[in-house]
Structure 1
Amino acid sequence: MRELNLDRLRTLVAIADLGSFAAAARALHLAPPTVSLHISELEQRVGAELLLRKRGQVRPSGVGETLVARARQLLADAEHALDEVQRQVQGLEGRVRLGASTGAIAYLLPQALQALGQGYPGIDVQVTVLTSEETLSKLVAGTLDVGLVALPQLSVEGLNVRAWRRDPVMAFLPAGWTAPRTVTPEWLAEQPLILNDPHTRLSRLTTEWFAAAGHNPRARIQLNYNDAVKSLVAAGYGATLLPHEASSAVPADPRIAMRPLRPKLWRPLGIAHRAGEAEPATQHVLDALWELKQV
């Protein structure tokens, strides 16, 4: 026996607690020869006598007391580990790694996390800001469990990508501007613009929206953080195009006016995860996200 066996350690602790081999055998539902064999194997492993037998009583030797103390800790750790794993199997605890864009993290993910926390406070969702391409790559590599990605996406072997939301893209303008009730590519192309980073799917959507009307405007600045973009709009630096996920038609910042587009533009999002049955904690996260479905 090269390693310390938990069953043998449990036998040693039972004998130390109950004071006899026979009582330990009854408590552990083992045959008396099995109890004797456990102790013999332990003593061979450590190379010392673990139990002293005098006048019908059994008590640990000095070496035995040291091993009994360590055995109690090891057995408690093993029980804790099994309990922790069991709670993960039941979906009560667990770690879920999620990748998403800044927009989804700022406005959509908090709603799902709030609902998840009410039902499953033991689930730890670790969030990383990524592009859709990065998210899919990390899902394939196994370093993410769930991703919120822009649609459409090419089929990726081993991944499921389902349509999740279809949010309208709106024009966000400084409130002091004189603007039409609906914003067209012609009007907006003449304004100073703050647009998304060209590597994002939203940038491609807005470029195609302008191009369909024959326009290719240049932005004053390109960013990938929607809150920073809105701060610049509020400061009067320019106008932007962003998805609107909130239920209210009025932006929270009174310095920003929001207008619908003509023609309309939509930002579709999907939920991506590895194919096959998800672990319980991951499934609970998927369920919480799916409650925000809007397609």
Structure 2
Amino acid sequence: MARSRIQVRHLLYFVKIVDAGSFSRAATQIHVAQPALSQQIGELEESLGVSLLHRSARGVQPTAAGKLLYAEAQAIIHRIEHLPDFVRACGEDVKGVVRVGMSQVLAASMAKAITGACNVALPNVTLHLVTGTSEHVTSRVREDSLDIAMIFDGDFASGVARQPLFKQQVFLVLQSTTQVEQNPMSWDGLRNLPLILPAHPHADIARIVDALFDDGSGASPALVENDVWAQISAVQAGLGNALLAMGDLSPVKGGAEMKAVPLDPPVYMTVSQIKSAEKPLTPAADATMSVINNLISRHLDEQKIVGGIRVGP
């Protein structure tokens, strides 16, 4: 028997069922009869040729294939929901100035691609890009001196509306000529390496450092200003190695002289997009946000963000 085509409603119903944890709760939430909902999921499983849900008296849980589909279905639904905004964003009638903040690490790896995409999609929008620490650009969003920003999320990001975009793996960044015995590098292996860290590291980086040096069994790291370029310059000068949420060093000046080694176990930092929780965005800022979201989603699909994974179950 020929397999039926997968339709958007199949994906939407599947996501709702996984979120609800049962067919009956999902049926109530989306106002669809439970037998019809079961039939839709049956069609989806038949189309894919795999079982997607473990069914039990206590509810449902996604299978391994179901977890994969859940993440992909969320991305597809998100893009479809934002398709009208993205199409409108490409219109030449969208005009204005948009102030975009980015953490320095994200700007180092993504600013060129983001400004290029916005220039093509929004030719009449002027982009003002501001970089700094995640804490700094978050405070500027609160003060209304930035419209939107991309940050590494943390406790400091209260009082703003935020949307997680993806998780970025943390890497050990060192000179390309440096020989390491482990790849990926264990946390214990870091104890034997000179580290260059910002004076006030992000909480996720601080957690690694605390685990390494609190017991006094390793040398204390060297501290520099809270400036990613100071860390990169120190690495290039051979003064030590850095811990950065950056797996692709090619966009960085002198990136060919460095390499990024993953950690074992891996550590991830959540990248979020933030805006004011009180003031609505201008049409130009809203269009810019849509362009950035679509670019990141596409880069994740194409695995262009080294060490980047979607936020999902």
Alignment map for 1:192-211 (pairs within 5 Å): 192-198=194-200, 200-201=201-202, 204-211=203-210
When the two structures are superposed, what TM-score results if normalisation uses the length of structure 2?
0.57
Alignment check: 8 A CA contact 2:224 2:230 kept? no
Aligned to 2:169: 168
Distance 1:137 1:228, change over 3 A: closer
SS at match of 2:170: strand
Deviation at 1:92, TM superposition (A): 2.0
Distance 1:241 1:124 in 2: 34
Distance 1:259 1:247 in 2: 11
Distance 1:257 1:131, change over 3 A: closer
Deviation at 1:205, TM superposition (A): 1.7
Alignment check: 8 A CA contact 2:191 2:212 kept? no
SS at match of 1:238: coil
The amino acid across from 2:275 in the alignment is: H
Report the more deviating stretch, 99-108 or 252-261. Answer: 252-261
Alignment map for 1:54-65 (pairs within 5 Å): none
Distance 1:188 1:176 in 2: 17
Distance 2:93 2:107 in 1: 23
Alignment map for 1:98-137 (pairs within 5 Å): 98-137=100-139
Deviation at 1:155, TM superposition (A): 6.6
Distance 2:226 2:244 in 1: 11
Alignment check: 8 A CA contact 1:102 1:129 kept? yes
Flag structure 2 segments of 5+ consecutive residues without an equivalent: 1-90, 298-309
Aligned to 2:220: 218
Distance 1:103 1:91, change over 3 A: farther
Map Cα deviations across residues 118-153 of structure 1 (whole Å, 9 max, x no partner).
111111111222333333332222221112222134
Map Cα deviations across residues 63-107 of structure 1 (whole Å, 9 max, x no partner).
xxxxxxxxxxxxxxxxxxxxxxxxxx9852101112222112221
Distance 1:245 1:279 in 2: 34
1:284 to 263, 282, 287: 287
Deviation at 1:259, TM superposition (A): 1.2
Distance 1:140 1:268, change over 3 A: same
Alignment check: 8 A CA contact 1:97 1:146 kept? yes
Distance 1:263 1:96, change over 3 A: same
Map Cα deviations across residues 22-75 of structure 1 (whole Å, 9 max, x no partner).
xxxxxxxxxxxxxxxxxxxxxxxxxxxxxxxxxxxxxxxxxxxxxxxxxxxxxx
Distance 1:214 1:247 in 2: 27
SS at match of 2:151: strand
Distance 1:163 1:218, change over 3 A: same
Runs of 4+ in 1 over 6 A off after TM superposition: none
Aligned to 1:138: 140
Alignment check: 8 A CA contact 1:194 1:223 kept? no
Deviation at 1:114, TM superposition (A): 0.7
Distance 2:136 2:275 in 1: 13
SS at match of 2:235: helix
Map Cα deviations across residues 176-195 of structure 1 (whole Å, 9 max, x no partner).
33212221222212221111
Distance 1:95 1:238, change over 3 A: same
SS at match of 2:108: helix
Aligned to 1:262: 264
SS at match of 2:290: helix
Alignment check: 8 A CA contact 1:108 1:245 kept? no
Aligned to 2:178: 177
Alignment check: 8 A CA contact 1:150 1:270 kept? yes
Map Cα deviations across residues 175-229 of structure 1 (whole Å, 9 max, x no partner).
333212221222212221111231x42xx32221233356565222323333342
The amino acid across from 2:285 in the alignment is: T
Distance 1:90 1:140 in 2: 29
SS at match of 2:204: helix
Percent identity between the aligned chains? Answer: 19
Distance 1:127 1:155 in 2: 19
